[in-house]
Amino acid sequence: MVLVLACILPAAIMVGGLIAFQYQQERESLTDDAIGEARTLAFAVDQRLLIVKAGLTALATSRSLRAGDLSSFYEEAKATVPELNAENIVLLGPDGQMILNTLKPFGTPLPANKASQLTQVLQSGKAVFADLFMGSVAGKRRVAVGVPVIHDGKVAYSINASITPERLQTILLQPRLTPDWIAAIYDNTGAVVARTRDQQRFVGVKGTPVVAKRVNEVAEGAMQGTTLEGDPVIAAFSRSGLSGWTVVIAIPRDSLTAGLRRSMLWLGAGTLLLLAFTLALAQALGNGIVRTTQELIAPALALGSGELLSAPLPEPSFREAAQVGQALAQAAGILSGATRALTQSEARLRAIVESAMDAVIIVDEDHRIILFNAAAETLFGYSRQEALVGSVERLVPERRRDEFAARLDAFGRNGNRYRRSTQVLFGLHRGGKEFPIDAAISQFVEDGKRIYTFIIRDVSERDRAHADLVRSNLDLQQFAFVASHDLRTPLRSIEGYLHLLEKRYGPGLDAKALDLIHRASNAVLTLDRLTEDLLSYASLDAQAKPFTTIDCNEILADTVRLMEEVITESNASIVSAGPLPTVLGDRTQLVQLFQNLLSNSITYCEGQPPQIRITSNLDSDAMWTVSVADNGIGIESRHHERIFEVFKRLHTSSEYPGTGIGLAVCRRVVGRHGGRIWVDSADGRGSTFSFTLPTIPEPRHDQAT
Ligand code: ADP
């Protein structure tokens, strides 16, 4: 309905406006016509007056009048009256006294002199058109034309012809004039001289002041006003320049607006009719739209609630509905695909969560458990149904609950996505037993609320195994320490006895026996070195000291000093290319590290004097890398890993002396300092042993201040 109104109303208003405009135009042209008509009538009145004036001027030249034969002139005048279509002719004497009047027989005594417009002729010697006056003889209203009679340059008489209003009315009664129009002649005083309607009643009556005023202002025009009867009219007028009289034509305003009213009525009726018809049409179309739309509601709802469109879509009654229907069908397809994918991914996720070895627990913002997987059931001893009605706090030992809740909320507030516990946490089993756990937490936001996911692992086993390992390590170290320490005493004795044997019985023994004694001594020496090395390896942890700031340049210098003898003997050159870093570490162990590497480089060389080059550089991970490169025999790449194991050697003692513990010590020292060690080498091409050491962390600003 609104649509229809929106379509029709502007058009109707437009047509109304056009009609009003047309009416205005018409009114203007009608007024122009009326003014023209008034002009024509004023002209006709002028013609009439001029004819009378001409007739009178001709009469003024009468010989009988010049000769003073007034009775003959009377006859002449009487004969002229009908020619001029006048009422009568009057002759006034120079004093203005009426001498003869064709209405009265010649010689009849006439009324006495009376000053009037007509007597002005005598004074001015010019023709006069007199306004409406009351004739003294006939006693009736009339207008008159007066001309002077000049004898010997003087005004001797004035001849006047009077015209009755009835005669002037005949000029106005034109068949051309529209019947309901009123035409009227007003004289210079504004009195009605003639009128097409109710002449008798209104002759001599003054016109309405509005009209009179306007008529005095301009010679021609139109205005709104009222008739003498009081009817509203448009008045068009034209004033004669000759007599100064004005012809007014009044057009009743009603008749003018009647056309407009009629048009407006037709327009209104037409609009209403069109409206009714269009509304009916719209209703019919609208019903189709409503029906189709309503039929689409059910499929749309089915789609929204996740049901697929089982029934075919309704037959649409318009194109857009068909498009909506198609879109719905398409959406159904997309939705079904998405639902299937969602179901599948949900099933997969559920399978992952359910088969996870770790407990997976999801809790909402209020710490209520909303997911509890099978591993969680086993770990905490609650069934899923039991767990889902409680809060996550019940899984935490009571003494830790408040702290736990506060920390969980803080994690939620600071918005971190993920966090893993750095300290040992404890879970609480349903049975009341506490156990150590490793936990990670993550969060996401669902419907504006935080959801937390916990992944929890029971680390009882791991902790136990670790404790066992530490214990067994300690035992082993203890054992190695005791063994190596205790072994050295009998070794010393054997060495002493062998020495005694050689000294006391040496001269009596043959070369073979002496060789055997030497071999036994060497074996004891090797065994002693081995136990010593083993001792130093075993006591690495036991003798560890707290880390201090250590300049590696000093360590190198100390090491070189310690090895001075070997270095000189082997003629080795040791070059440090650039300064070495300062790190946090254990001085003794770092000396041990450098000593082992340098002594290896000196030991494993072939003939030529060993050349050892020590370099360092800082890499991107804030780690120093220190490298010790030699020109020795090199190591095949397949041995690069195993040489760092205890007792792993690539040569026999007769080839190169050694126990196979040096690099194992190096690895442990570097490991204890937070670095790693490796070798780059190829057989016969020298070896480069490199190890990393962490840089000293920058002091934190807050701590520094
Ligand atoms: P040891 O030197 O007492 O035998 P290490 O643990 O120090 O024991 O070395 C293990 C093995 O690695 C050595 O036997 C040797 O074969 C090899 N090796 C170590 N350093 C070097 C080196 N600079 N050049 C060549 N081989 C080396």
Burial (0-12, 13-18, 19+ Cβ within 10 Å), 405: middle
Domains within the chain, CATH numbers bracketed: 29-267 (3.30.450.20), 356-457 (3.30.450.20), 464-541 (1.10.287), 545-694 (3.30.565.10)
C-alpha closest to that of 142 among 106, 105, 113, 101:
101
The torsion angle over the Cα atoms of residues 301, 302, 304 and 309, rounded to 10 degrees, is -130
The pTM (predicted TM-score) of the whole model is: 0.45
Q: What is the pLDDT of residues 498-535, one digit of tens each?
A: 999 989 998 888 999 999 999 899 888 888 888 888 88
| Ranges of residues in the chain whose predicted pLDDT is under 50 | 700-705
Q: Which residue among 635, 644, 654, 690 is best mutated to probe the pocket of ligand 1, counting the most ligand atoms within 8 A of its Cβ?
A: 635
Q: How far is the CA of 132 from the centre of ligand 1 (A)?
A: 158
pLDDT at residue 6 in the model = 86
pLDDT at residue 575 in the model = 95
pLDDT at residue 20 in the model = 83
* CB of 658 sitting under 6 A from ligand 1: yes
Q: Which residues lie below 8 Å from residue 572, measured CB to CB, with a gap of 6+?
A: 566, 601, 602, 609, 610, 611, 612
Neighbours of 422 (CB within 10 A): 7
H or E stretch at 272: helix 253-304
> Residue 209, by phi and psi: left (phi above 0), alpha (psi -120 to 50) or beta?
alpha
How many whole angstroms separate alpha carbon 471 and alpha carbon 484? Answer: 20
* CB of 612 sitting under 6 A from ligand 1: no
Q: Tell me the two tokens of residue 635.
A: 């190591």
Q: Which residue among 636, 644, 663 is best mutated to probe the pocket of ligand 1, counting the most ligand atoms within 8 A of its Cβ?
A: 663
Q: Tell me the two tokens of residue 481.
A: 């320490």
pLDDT at residue 208 in the model = 80
How many whole angstroms separate alpha carbon 448 and alpha carbon 444? Answer: 10
pLDDT at residue 703 in the model = 33
Output the CA torsion sign for 23, 27, 33, 37.
positive
Helix axes 2-60, 253-304, angle to 10 degrees: 170
Index of the ligand 1 atom closest to the CA of residue 660: 8
Q: Tell me the two tokens of residue 240.
A: 């004669």
Q: Tell me the two tokens of residue 138.
A: 């006939």
Cα angle, residue 670 at apex, residues 666 and 676 outer, rounded to 5°: 105
pLDDT at residue 584 in the model = 94
Burial (0-12, 13-18, 19+ Cβ within 10 Å), 617: exposed
